[in-house]
Structure 1
Amino acid sequence: MSFGLLTGLLCGALLGFVMQRGRFCLTGGFRDMYIAKDNRMFYALLIAIAVQSVGVYTLISLGVFEFTTGTISLLAVIAGSFIFGIGIIFAGGCATGTWYRAGEGLVGSWMALAGYMLVAAMMRTGPLAPIDTKLKSYEVGNNSMAATFGVSPWILIAILVVIVAFIVYRELKKPKVKIPSLKPKKTGLAHVLFEKRWNPFVTATLIGVIATLAWPLSVATGRMGGLGITTPSANILQFLVTGDISFVNWGVFLVLGVFFGSMFAAKMSGEFRFRMPDVKTGLNSFSGGLMMGFGASLAGGCSIGNGLVMTAMMTWSGWISLVFMILGTWTASYFVFVRPRKKAQAARSEAVTA
């Protein structure tokens, strides 16, 4: 095992630790935008995107590595992202969220991971590969937003940074809501790392830095890309089935690192415990994982690969995917949460007036 691959484990462990302690859940964030009208987690995602965008394009400008956006398969991105958005509601977490929740001992997330890895592998080299190839063959043009507008990527990055800075300023100006907390059991750094509630904007900044760090570490091993969850997850299953060591790369160690980093954080903060879902929740988790695997593979990325990384690279696929992921999440949220609640309220009203 080379040191380069171990950097994937380290990077993933940092990501899993930060996401677990910061409760960085994009599924809940997208859902809350619709149900609770709470945009803070979405704003946190924008911060992570902006930090990574500045960091990665600085590295590109310094000649650390080169990056090409390629073309965009619009139909695959739209359909896959929408299906993925539906899947994360049923699974109870996005791809990365499922990995870190699995590290907390949530058995339902293990079930979601099983479905996710299975279909992702089937889309790559299994019986679903022809569907994946066919839908991705409809390419519509350059994937670079900067090339489309005929400007430097830095212009788009500057616009994003200004928008994010304004959002952060506006949010920080709002009156703070005091949240009751238990008397601290830890002191000093231990209290900050394992007990204190993390600010989502600070968490997002750390994730942006980790996402930036992932690029040179990954490229150094011959893997062109930053954070990515879907392909590495499929690679794990393919390796277990075939024994082909070529499937084990930096990305595989990254996702394993997310699991172990989250487990360490959960253990140290007293949040680790095995939780067995009921039958309905287990089935929902597995079916959600199946949809996640299909959607993310078709779209060319999950909420991290497209929603965090490819958005930061100023690609059409990243931003279009993010929009349709959110729309898929809202659609599923309506049928899973809003519609049943409305029916229950209507039934109670009829019972009162009867």
Structure 2
Amino acid sequence: MSVQTKTQPLGGNQPAIGRPPMPSVRPLVLGAALIVAVLLGSVILGSQGVKQGILFGIGLLLGYTLYHARFGFTSAFRRLVSVGQGAGVRAHMLMLSVASLLFAPILSSGVGFFGAQPEASVAPVGASVLVGAFIFGIGMQMGGGCASGVLYQVGGGGSSVLITLIAFIAGSVIGAWHWDFWVNQLPSLPPISLAETTGLGYGPALLIQLALFGAIAGATVLIARRKKAPPMKPLPTTYGLLRVIRGSWPLWVGALLLAGLNALTLAIKGSPWGITSAFALWGSKVLSTLGVNVSQWAYWSGDRAADLKASVLADTTSVMNFGIILGAMVAAAAAGTYAFRKVPGKVAMSSIIGGLLMGYGARLAYGCNIGAYFGGIASFSLHGWVWAVMALTGTFIGLRMRSIFGLKNPKSRDSFC
């Protein structure tokens, strides 16, 4: 009796048991995204130089990675709080661990590429961070995504998050308008670096952070057992090398790539990856065009004043944001999941409120889930840890508000992506 051995091909759409098949490629969308990426990249290289062109390329890779790994900050917090599923938060801890390992030597040496002198993202801890991170936590649950999530979902054809993005920009502008009150007129501690302010140095500070990441990851395992957290549902994927282009990636792959790309950003740009400062810039430029004298706002004084007059392509955060959107668009088109859908009225309203809260909160809190949480903690800043606690607290409120607008929260009996 002969025994037949079934082998998997190098690529293809054959689903594994229990895994949904991949949709068809969207060739028109894919072609359009690639053409726009090449043209915009050429303009950036020609007008702003090689450094800015490389940062645009890093943005493309970030968007591509975020989409393929479906690497979420909003969903990770929501799943942990609602049903105790901590896989997403454990991926965060892996990402932060690797980023901290990479950031430490870069920051301690102060030597980067293209003449950059890398500086940590360390901000004061005061009322602005406490309030800003808290309302950001509410907003990201209502808006359907965080700062990075909104960008990569917009690139992936997300209709509701496009509304969120517009409101996000508006909220960022309002936050910039009110920035002086929250930051300069309310009590605050000075910036505190666990490595430098404390005098510990980057070696001991790194060990402390790694221990905290491990403790948090372990706590999520205990929470999952106590709450009997539902399993993660597999996403559509292919096999072999084609998975790089067509399939979903494990969270740990996304965590490692995001950590590496953020460290590369730090070394080239001179500061960690950020997103939301560009939203305030875009919205303020629009208001300035309409005749509003935004240059009189305290937020746009000092080093930021020149940004209002310069081309948006001269702003590194804007250029990277454009790359994230296009990188996600390429990934979604190749995966066959790019599609706009009709947005119900309640969902649209929730998106508007969520976007406004996130935009306003990010300006108060010196950043979002990327600039404050990811970049702040990887920079050994106390404000990054405070941001995480307050955003997680805001998540509890955000989950309750979602039901008002007909948005579902995970249930203990569900499995989910």
Asked whether the equivalents of residues 69 and 143 of structure 1 are also in contact (C-alpha less than 8 Å), the reply is: no
2:264 counterpart of 1:213:
yes
- For 1:261 and 1:98, how far apart are their aligned partners in 2? 13
User: Residue deviations 1:22-72, cap 9 Å, x none?
Assistant: 011111100111111011111111111111111122122333134356651
2:151 counterpart of 1:99:
yes
Q: Give the alignment partner of residue 204 of structure 2, picking from 137, 146, 155.
A: 155
2:17 paired residue number: none
2:181 paired residue number: 131
Asked whether the equivalents of residues 20 and 265 of structure 1 are also in contact (C-alpha less than 8 Å), the reply is: yes
Listed as ranges, the gaps of 5+ residues in structure 2 are 1-46, 112-116, 226-230, 290-308, 408-417
Q: Give the alignment partner of residue 76 of structure 1, picking from 105, 125, 128.
A: 128
2:296 paired residue number: none
Q: Give the alignment partner of residue 315 of structure 1, picking from 374, 381, 384.
A: 381
SS at match of 1:38: coil
Length-normalised TM-score, structure 1: 0.83
1:260 paired residue number: 326
User: Residue deviations 1:228-266, cap 9 Å, x none?
Assistant: 111012222334454632554111101111111111100
Asked whether the equivalents of residues 118 and 266 of structure 2 are also in contact (C-alpha less than 8 Å), the reply is: no
1:193 paired residue number: 245
SS at match of 1:226: coil
How far apart are residue 337 of structure 1 and its match? 4.4
Length-normalised TM-score, structure 2: 0.71
2:75 paired residue number: 28
- For 2:269 and 2:361, how far apart are their aligned partners in 1? 24
SS at match of 1:145: coil
User: Residue deviations 1:315-345, cap 9 Å, x none?
Assistant: 111000011001101221134349x99xxxx
SS at match of 2:369: coil
Asked whether the equivalents of residues 143 and 161 of structure 2 are also in contact (C-alpha less than 8 Å), the reply is: yes
1:295 paired residue number: 361
The AA in structure 2 aligned to 1:229 is I
User: Residue deviations 1:202-247, cap 9 Å, x none?
Assistant: 211111001101112212xxxxx21111101222233445463255
The AA in structure 2 aligned to 1:113 is L
How far apart are residue 275 of structure 1 and its match? 1.7
- For 1:101 and 1:26, how far apart are their aligned partners in 2? 13
How far apart are residue 104 of structure 1 and its match? 1.1
User: Residue deviations 1:130-185, cap 9 Å, x none?
Assistant: 434445x52223421234544122212123335546849x97xx9xx796777x7x
2:341 counterpart of 1:275:
yes
Q: Give the alignment partner of residue 115 of structure 1, picking from 130, 150, 167.
A: 167
- Aligned identity (percent) is 25
2:377 counterpart of 1:328:
no
The AA in structure 1 aligned to 2:171 is V
Asked whether the equivalents of residues 142 and 354 of structure 2 are also in contact (C-alpha less than 8 Å), the reply is: yes
| Count of residue pairs brought into register by the alignment | 325
Listed as ranges, the gaps of 5+ residues in structure 1 are 220-224, 342-354
- For 1:179 and 1:280, how far apart are their aligned partners in 2? 27
